[in-house]
Chains A and B, each alone.
Chain A
Amino acid sequence: MRKHRISDRDAFALLKGRASAARSDLAPLAESVSKFRAAAFTTLPQPSAELALRLDLSRATGISSLIAPLSDVGTVEAYEPAVVGGASPIRRVKSMFAWFAGLGIAVKIVLGLAVTAAAVAGAGAAGVLPPLAPISFDTAVTSTADPTGTAEPTSSPTGTPTATPSDDPTHSSDKSDKSKSENELGKEISEEAKEIGEDAGKIDAPDSSVETDTKVGATNGGVEIGTDVKIKSGTHTDDNK
């Protein structure tokens, strides 16, 4: 009867769901153990909410495929997620571009104009504009203005008097005086402009007269207005008289 006793070796095989060929009488028991083992194991259990907070469940799917690459890396740092705090310059540029792309069209236009104006003003202030640029700017301003200097309206476009000074009989003589003085001043300016044009071809550094024009243009929109200061002061003097 001793042959029916389950030895340690038989027990070890049975617990694995096997039975040796010499103990075929244990085959049904080995099969039952194997079925028990198969029935007990199910799919991966659903973690509780508290446990799920400590897991990266996005990696749980197909985790078996993640096991193989683990052999290549043994340190903790190698599996740390990507650096969160220190963004690379490329990443910063990308985020800036994404931010700008998200803006509305009106905001984009305003931003573009502001940046352009700031760039022009900065270039002018730094004196890095090309030497001929201020002259071209002056030419453009004078061409849009009335060359005779009589463009200053004395009445409304309909001819009806709108202001007391325009109805003043003395105002016409003042206007003719003013036209004369403006013509004389225009000649002076053109002569100065010629000199500036000649100097601009020679000098790299900005000329002092050009600086003056640029300065006035930046404040009031053109060279003429700078000269108007003198004219108006004379006019006012006449008016005061």
Chain B
Amino acid sequence: MAVRGGAPGAQNFEGTLSAAQAGAAWACTILWVEYAPAVAAFLKARGSREPEDLTSEVFLAVFDQLPKFAGGESEFRSFIFSIAYRRLVDELRRRSRRGDSVEWTADHDPRYSPSAEDEAFDRLGEAAALALFDGLPEDQRNVMVLRIIADLTVEQIASIVSKRPGAVKALQRRALESLRKKIQPSRTPTGRPVDSEE
């Protein structure tokens, strides 16, 4: 389990999950604390406007469906991110139908002129890091974010995005090759593209 800050072991997880299925608030809190950062990170990295609100919606759905869940920690992780993925797709569809409106904030105000320090921070900081997958096709971005942040296996991701594992593996490889070119344009050997070698 790769949730930041650690997670309960198998025995701990089973006890916590059983209690959460019985409706114990303390157990739901532990699940929230352990998995919510990863879910919020996934939603944020995939472009959700309100990742925190969406994370709460995801966990409300998780707790509602928890009594019907059966499985271990790995299955539970896949269960959570399948709900998160569906909620994210719903949000993205809503935004595409209504137009991509952005709530006004001081940071996004075009009249606001950031200082050179702010610009440098943005360029070198979080925004720059999160922009790593910008420019990738959507299905590649989904696979990469689910692999890196959610720590799901190829098979789990295939189940979530409704693709075959082989297709997921191919998406992952293409994404990595594109990223390598993006990061090291000068070092990338010229000539035939990597995919053409196959």
Contacts and interface: CB of A to CB of B under 8 A. Distances in A.
Given A1-B197, A71-B11, A40 B149 contact: yes
Interface string B162-198: 0000000100110011011001100101011010010
Nearest to B8: A67
- Residue with the greatest number of chain A CB neighbours at <10 A, chosen from B32, B56, B147, B191: B32
Contacts of B52: 45-46
Contact of A56 (B8, B26, B125, B148): B26
B148 A36 contact: yes
Contacts of B89: none
A67 B148 contact: no
Contact of A6 (B27, B51, B176, B192): B176
**Majority secondary structure of chain B interface residues (helix, strand, loop or mixed):** helix
Contacts of B18: 74-76
Interface stretch (A26-34, A105-113, A173-181): A26-34
B129 interface: yes
Given A74-B11, A76-B22, A41 B37 contact: yes
Interface string A34-73: 0111111111111110110011110110011011001101
B24 A76 contact: yes
Contact of A70 (B16, B129, B192): B16
A207 to B, nearest CB: 70
Interface stretch (B40-48, B76-84, B97-105, B111-119): B40-48
Contacts of A57: 29
Nearest to A47: B56
B194 A44 contact: no
Contacts of A211: none
Given A40-B42, A76-B22, A5 B29 contact: no
Given A42-B40, A51-B56, A55-B28, A5 B33 contact: no
Q: Is the interface of A mostly helix, strand, loop or mixed?
A: helix
Given A41-B41, A79-B19, A6 B180 contact: yes
Nearest to B149: A40
B132 A36 contact: yes
Interface string A5-20: 1101001001100000
Interface in B1-30: 4-9, 11-12, 14-16, 18-19, 22, 24-30
A39 B12 CA distance: 29
A70 B8 contact: yes
Contacts, number: 160
- A2, A37, A66 interface centre (most CB from chain B within 10 Å): A37
A133 B24 CA distance: 64
B183 A32 contact: yes
Interface of A: 1-2, 4-6, 8, 11, 14-15, 25-26, 28-29, 32-33, 35-48, 50-51, 54-57, 59-60, 63-64, 66-67, 70-71, 73-76, 79-81
Given A6-B177, A51-B60, A57-B29, 19 more contacts: A28-B183, A29-B179, A29-B180, A32-B132, A33-B132, A39-B126, A39-B130, A40-B45, A41-B4, A41-B38, A42-B41, A45-B40, A48-B60, A54-B28, A59-B30, A60-B29, A71-B8, A74-B11, A76-B15
18 contacts: A1-B192, A1-B194, A2-B197, A6-B173, A29-B179, A39-B129, A40-B42, A41-B38, A44-B37, A47-B56, A48-B60, A50-B60, A54-B28, A54-B60, A55-B28, A55-B32, A71-B8, A80-B24
Minimum-distance CB pairs A-B, first 10: A48-B56, A39-B129, A40-B41, A70-B12, A56-B25, A35-B129, A63-B33, A45-B52, A74-B15, A39-B126
